[in-house]
């Protein structure tokens, strides 16, 4: 059954995730009334010869020059010069999420956009159509101009697009999907590109993936502590309450529920390494930071990212900077910091588990026959490479401003780079957590005790049921991905 998304309702991350497949986008009477009112007001404004950026003027630094008199030609004037993107195409799933974010922003009715533009976005989302959008070209200010320009052109039947995952000329993709090329005037064209919908979509999807990994690491930390026989006092409610941070209190409560019923072995040191003992403080700080990003994403999904905005009730056309993606840029950089430290934690826990000096006497690398077999040795090497890849690219992008556009854009947030990087790295984080989950499954095979907490036993049993022990050695890349999927499924 096709999922419905109502443009009159708040937009959530779950909506962006389901948009990878065909969805029914509802454009109800309230949305149509807002769009019609905005369009009538735009016609009145243009009839009074008021200056409207992008409708009567050139673009960017050329705003002081008149645009083309014919509004259909003005659409070409808007979009042609934006065909300058480079690099690989963005994932079609992300492109479709971007279209949904753009449709929701335009449906607020403050953009003066033609109703048929929103209808066209809705119709495209009802198929497998996805515009081919270049990864490189946006500075996250004045909107994601170049990638959104490619999306607008694809909707017009120019450039390229994907249909059922196959890259095609956009005109053919539209025709095969049963869609008509989208006619645009100057205001419509600018409204499609003059927002940070790509940045918002990528930040939202990265946030989802990192929240999943955050929950997985909480659960796997509990399984690790149980297998090793750790004393769970590091999760004591009074201890964490005294710490004074909401995130640590909440994470500690969640972890105590997973570890409920555990029986300490009595053979562990009084104080565990920080990768166990300080896990609730680290994961709690991550929760506090993710909560901040929750708020930014919610605001971006609910807001209008465009310029200018039209307010018929006030008889105003207001020119400003609602296309400036600084909130998402900061938020995406926070995501990068969070996921890097989550990756650090999971990688250090994996290192602890394969080390016979610290793992309670289990064989090195959790090998069933050390020397003749190598257990997790290759997986640990790969995990080290993954976390280095994350850390190498962890420099915040949100303050790397570089003036452009004849100093019209004299300060920019680079939020698109922040968001796309966070989304990329969130996938790597999932592979690190999958590596840790695989190691926990192997630990019991080579001599670790079975979990004593029912919550931990449930996780380990699910891993063991799907993944055979590493005995003898075998290629493990698919097992890492499978372990990640299982752990993520158990902690949703």
Distance between CA 116 and CA 45 in Å, rounded? 20
- Residue holding tokens 């075998």? 474
Residue 162 annotated in active site: no
Spatial CA neighbour of 149 closest among 114, 98, 113, 109? 98
469: left (phi over 0), alpha (psi -120 to 50) or beta: beta
**CA triplet 134, 209, 342: central angle to 5 degrees?**
115
DSSP-derived letter for residue 7 is: T
What ranges make up the beta strands (E) of 46-96? 86-89
Q: How far is CA 431 from CA 199, 203, 325, 426, 428, in A?
A: 24, 19, 29, 9, 5
Asked whether the CA dihedral 214, 216, 219, 220 is positive or negative, the reply is negative
Distance between CA 470 and CA 446 in Å, rounded? 9
Taking residue 148's Cβ as centre, other Cβ atoms within 10 Å add up to 26
DSSP-derived letter for residue 342 is: H
Spatial CA neighbour of 112 closest among 226, 221, 35, 32? 35
What ranges make up the beta strands (E) of 106-210? 130-131, 134-136, 160-163, 166-169
Question: Which residue out of 53, 65, 162, 292 is catalytically annotated?
Answer: 53
Phi, psi of 80 (to 5 degrees): -60, -45
405: left (phi over 0), alpha (psi -120 to 50) or beta: left
Phi, psi of 268 (to 5 degrees): -85, 160
Distance between CA 127 and CA 25 in Å, rounded? 11
Any idea which residues carry the catalytic annotation? 53
């Amino acid at each position: 059954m096709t999922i419905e998304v109502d443009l009159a309702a708040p937009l959530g991350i779950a909506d962006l995730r389901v948009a990878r497949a065909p969805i029914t986008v509802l454009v109800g009477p309230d949305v149509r009334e807002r769009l019609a009112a905005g369009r009538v007001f735009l016609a009145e404004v243009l009839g009074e010869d008021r200056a409207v950026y992008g409708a009567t003027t050139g673009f960017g630094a050329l705003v002081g020059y008149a645009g083309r008199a014919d509004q259909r030609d003005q659409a070409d004037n808007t979009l042609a010069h934006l065909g300058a993107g480079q690099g690989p195409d963005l994932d079609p799933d992300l492109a479709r999420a971007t279209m949904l974010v753009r449709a929701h922003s335009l449906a607020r009715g403050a953009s003066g956009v033609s109703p048929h533009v929103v209808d066209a976005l809705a119709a495209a989302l009802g198929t497998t159509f996805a515009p081919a959008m270049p990864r490189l070209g946006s500075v996250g200010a004045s909107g994601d101009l170049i990638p959104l320009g490619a999306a607008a052109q694809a909707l017009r039947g120019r450039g390229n697009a994907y249909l059922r995952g196959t890259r095609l000329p956009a005109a053919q993709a539209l025709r095969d999907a049963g869609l008509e090329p989208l006619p645009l005037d100057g205001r419509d064209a600018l409204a499609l590109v003059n927002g940070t919908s790509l940045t918002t979509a990528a930040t939202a999807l990265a946030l989802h993936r990192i929240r999943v990994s955050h929950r997985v690491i909480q659960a796997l930390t509990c399984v690790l502590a149980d297998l090793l026989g750790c004393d769970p006092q590091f999760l004591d409610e009074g201890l964490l309450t005294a710490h004074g941070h909401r995130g640590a209190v909440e994470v500690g409560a969640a972890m105590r529920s997973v570890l409920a019923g555990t029986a300490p072995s009595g053979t562990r040191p009084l104080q565990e390494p920080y990768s166990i003992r300080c896990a609730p403080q680290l994961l709690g700080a991550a929760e506090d930071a993710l909560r901040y990003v929750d708020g930014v994403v919610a605001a971006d999904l609910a807001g209008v990212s465009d310029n200018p905005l039209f307010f018929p009730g006030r008889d105003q056309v207001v020119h400003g900077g609602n296309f400036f993606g600084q909130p998402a840029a900061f938020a995406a950089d926070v995501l990068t910091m969070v996921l890097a430290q989550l990756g650090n934690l999971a990688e250090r826990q994996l290192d602890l588990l394969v080390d016979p000096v610290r793992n309670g006497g289990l064989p090195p690398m959790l090998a069933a026959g050390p020397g003749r077999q190598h257990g997790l040795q290759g997986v640990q090497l790969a995990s080290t490479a993954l976390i280095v890849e994350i850390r190498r690219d962890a420099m915040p992008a949100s303050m790397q401003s570089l003036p452009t556009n004849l100093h019209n854009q004299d300060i920019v947030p680079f939020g698109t780079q922040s968001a796309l990087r966070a989304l990329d790295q969130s996938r790597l984080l999932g592979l690190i957590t999958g590596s840790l989950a695989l190691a926990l499954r192997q630990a019991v095979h080579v001599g670790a005790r079975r979990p004593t907490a029912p919550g931990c036993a449930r996780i380990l049993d699910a891993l063991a049921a799907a993944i055979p022990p590493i005995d003898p050695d075998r290629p493990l890349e698919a097992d890492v991905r499978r372990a990640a999927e299982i752990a993520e499924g158990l902690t949703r």
